[in-house]
Amino acid sequence: MTFFKTTFYYSALVCLLISSFISNANPPKEIFWEDLIPKNHVQIDTQTQANHDGSEQNWMQPDLDAPIVKELNGQSVSLPGFVVPLEGDSEVITEFLLVPYFGACIHVPPPPPNQIVHVTIKGGVPIESLYDAIVVTGIISTESWSGEIAQTGYKIKAVGVAPFEL
């Protein structure tokens, strides 16, 4: 009987320790777009209005050498923004760009790389409306990504995507 009692107490102790570690796990750090720009860097405002008159528009991405915040690398973060889909189907997207304002990379030239995040999410996520802001949670890296639409200064391996709520 003491064997079972001892085993029970050890099991309870292990469960208590595990739950203690889980409950003390740090929640993701809530960051915003200005947190992706180094404190000593003066970012030029590159957001322009869409040109709907049919004339040519400059689609060059500005400031391709925009610096990043290396201290963010490997941190668990949550960042709000808008979706520019890259990969997926009619049900879910598995890869997208997260941008600070609606229309970036589609209706207006892309912002600097330190203001665009390349996001991947295993299994994909349904995006109800591409016009709505979302919050992405995951591990951020300071690894760049380059595609046809834009170059990014950051990547996030997302573990969650949710609608943005004020």
Q: For residue 121, is pLDDT > 90?
A: yes
| pLDDT value of position 26 | 82
- Backbone torsions φ then ψ of 157, nearest 5 degrees: -90, 105
pTM: 0.76
| pLDDT value of position 45 | 63
Q: For the chain, which domains are there? A: 26-40+59-163 (2.40.50.870)
Percent of the chain with pLDDT over 70: 74
Question: pLDDT (tens digit, 9 = 90+) per residue, 36-88?
Answer: 999 987 766 655 544 445 444 556 777 888 999 999 999 999 999 999 999 99
Contacts for 149 with CB less than 8 Å, ≥ 6 apart: 84, 86, 97, 105, 110
